Amino acid sequence: MLPVSPGLQTLVITSIREEASGVKTFSITPEDGRGIPYAAGQFITLVFTHHGKEERRSFSLSSSPVLNEPLAFTIKRIDNGAYSRLLIDKAQVGDKLYTAGAAGLFTLPAEIPAKQIFFFSAGIGITPVFSIIKTLLHTQPGTHAVLIYSNRSREEVVFYNKLQALAEKFSDRLKLVFLYSTSFDLSRARLSKALLPVLLKENALAPKTDLLFYICGPFSYMRMVIISLEEQGIHEDQIRKENFNTNDRNIIKVEPPDKATHTATIKYLGREYSFPVAYPDTILQAAKKNGLSLPFSCEVGRCGSCAARCTSGKVWLSYNEVLMDTDLQHGSILTCVGHPVNGDVTIDV
């Protein structure tokens, strides 16, 4: 059964390439010939149908939008991941997929304020990082990059040869640091709170205030890196993070300070829609009930697919792992965990 949400694009798989054991890259092209706009570091949301119900999964894009590469996403087979297993085990060239488009906030800023960017990645978390590094090296000649990439062994490194080729081509601007947990040198086997400041000292070419940090990997890995960076005096505005698995933890339910019903006016695709939002429904849930299909994926405030901007009124978020303080100050919200409070709201999607 095909997905029924309006606005979906049909994709055709044009090639499948194995990157490491259990890891494949799928090159895709829109069947209608229309491109899919995206930024380096974003993910593509695929829409599947299971027992008559639509389910959405987001997969990080590994291609770069500035290199004329085929649009591609790279995934790892997860034992309890229904759709990663389906794609890795069953998908073939010529198969069709359905997408709600690309989204995500794990991207380069329009103007890069840093002289050097450190990328911390573990396992399949390299996927969006690889896209960003390729784009950075080809478009920002004044910015240096360091990739600190953790895996169990050399054989499990995704994009190893491609990363080495980049390091050779941009030898004056890209430094690779591979960490293997099976290494005999235990002091450099796993990234830790003790090793991280050593690697910063060895590789930093600028003061800490002139650095940016991008992190993608398992939750516990990212938490350790963020805490370690903060202990080194790195401000949270210098840190970007991406959760490549948005389904691995429970969400603590928090109630909004105002549970009254308010009207949300949504400006989307050149049209305006107004409807009531009544707790416990979020803005996204209320939109669905009123026949409006807005962008979304995880529905728990972790991925950023539903990011929008509140132009009037106030939206309270029950959870947020993707918007930074500066985003919030400029009115950014997440419709999947957003509730209007203290009155009506107007939102640009």
d(CA 279, CA 106): 30
Residues 24-55: tens digit of each pLDDT: 999 999 998 888 999 999 999 999 988 888 89
Q: What is the DSSP string of 83-145?
A: HHHHHHHH--TT-EEEEEEEE-S-S--SS---SEEEEEEEGGGHHHHHHHHHHHHHH-TT-EE
Single-letter residue type at 98:
Y
Q: Which two tokens stand for residue 63?
A: 């291609």
pLDDT band at 312 (very low <50, low <70, confident <90, very high): very high
Q: Is the Cβ–Cβ distance between 131 and 244 less than 8 Å? A: no
Looking at domain 262-348, its CATH architecture is Roll (3.10)
Residue 253, pLDDT above cutoff 80: no
Position 245 scores a pLDDT of: 57
Q: Where are the alpha helices (DSSP H) in the chain?
A: 82-90, 126-139, 160-169, 195-203, 219-231, 283-289, 325-329
116-242: which CATH topology? Rossmann fold (3.40.50)
Q: What is the DSSP string of 301-338?
A: SSS-TTEEEEEEEEEEES--SS--HHHHHTTEEETTSE
pLDDT band at 143 (very low <50, low <70, confident <90, very high): very high
Q: How far is CA 221 from the centre of its chain?
A: 16
Q: Which two tokens stand for residue 99?
A: 């997408």
Backbone angles phi, psi at 257, to 5 degrees: -70, -15
d(CA 250, CA 199): 33
Q: How far is CA 18 from the centre of its chain?
A: 22
How much is the pTM? 0.86
Would you list the domain boundaries of the chain?
A: 9-103, 116-242, 262-348
Q: How high is the mean pLDDT of the chain?
A: 93
Residues 75-88: tens digit of each pLDDT: 999 988 889 999 99
Residue 246, pLDDT above cutoff 60: no
Radius of gyration of the chain (CA): 21
Position 324 scores a pLDDT of: 84
- Mean pLDDT of the region 14-21: 97
Position 2 scores a pLDDT of: 60
Position 81 scores a pLDDT of: 83
Residues 149-187: tens digit of each pLDDT: 999 999 999 999 999 999 999 999 999 999 999 999 988
d(CA 268, CA 82): 32
Nearest to 122 by CA among 19, 222, 259: 222
CA-to-CA separations, 226 to 130, 183, 220, 258, in angstroms, rounded: 20, 24, 10, 33
Nearest to 130 by CA among 160, 155, 151, 103: 160
Residues 283-308: tens digit of each pLDDT: 999 999 998 989 898 888 888 889 99
**3-state DSSP call for residue 155?**
helix
Q: Is the Cβ–Cβ distance between 196 and 229 less than 8 Å? A: yes
Residue 325, pLDDT above cutoff 90: no
Instruction: Output 197 or 2, whichever has higher pLDDT.
Output: 197
Instruction: Output 39 or 1, whichever has higher pLDDT.
Output: 39
Backbone angles phi, psi at 208, to 5 degrees: -55, -35
- Mean pLDDT of the region 242-256: 66
Position 239 scores a pLDDT of: 95
Position 3 scores a pLDDT of: 62
pLDDT over 70, % of the chain: 95
Nearest to 243 by CA among 91, 93, 122, 111: 122
Residue 267, pLDDT above cutoff 70: yes
d(CA 11, CA 71): 10
d(CA 62, CA 88): 16
Looking at domain 9-103, its CATH architecture is Beta Barrel (2.40)
Residue 124, pLDDT above cutoff 80: yes
Position 1 scores a pLDDT of: 54
Residue 250, pLDDT above cutoff 60: no
Residues 207-239: tens digit of each pLDDT: 999 999 999 999 999 999 999 999 999 999 999
Position 141 scores a pLDDT of: 95
Residue 270, pLDDT above cutoff 80: yes
Position 54 scores a pLDDT of: 87
d(CA 117, CA 238): 10
